Amino acid sequence: MNVFISHSWAYSDHYEKLSQWIFEESWSISGRPIEFFNTSVPRDNPIHYAPNDATLQQAIYQRIAMSHVLVIPTGMYANYSKWIKKEIDGARLHGRPIVAVDPWAQKRASSVVAGAANESVGWNKQSIINAVWRLGNGR
């Protein structure tokens, strides 16, 4: 299953932890091993050097189109990120479900992400994996 994790590099600790939980651990459902593949945009990807916003948006939308589900942390920075909003638009455009994840001990959640999510979960790896699996298989 292809998973796109939204992120802001200024708050990359959320992305790093989610990526570790989803992609670096072994998971199984009903005793059957499952694999998750990362379709997120890595920090060193040349996509970040796109000549303009339209080219960057198109490249991100292509990654979203390859994904089964998006995972978006609900950090308050998401309310002010134009790219997270564009990723949400890309998920809608391509009919991809969104799992909103509330970072540990966070008191407030982004209304932008929470309003777009198909499911919201807490900062717990098993809850995140269950939601990703459930929503990603719904396609």
Q: Domain residue spans in the chain?
A: 1-8+67-139
Nearest Cα neighbor of 19 from 67, 55, 59, 71 is 71
For every residue of 100-132, DSSP letters joined together read EE--TT-S---HHHHHH-SEEE-S-HHHHHHHH
Domain 1-8+67-139 has CATH 3.40.50.2020: no
The whole-model pTM stands at 0.89
One digit per residue, the tens of pLDDT, for the chain of length 139 reads 999 998 766 667 888 899 999 999 999 888 989 999 999 887 666 565 667 888 888 888 999 999 999 999 887 666 667 788 889 999 999 999 999 998 876 667 778 898 999 999 999 999 999 999 999 987 5
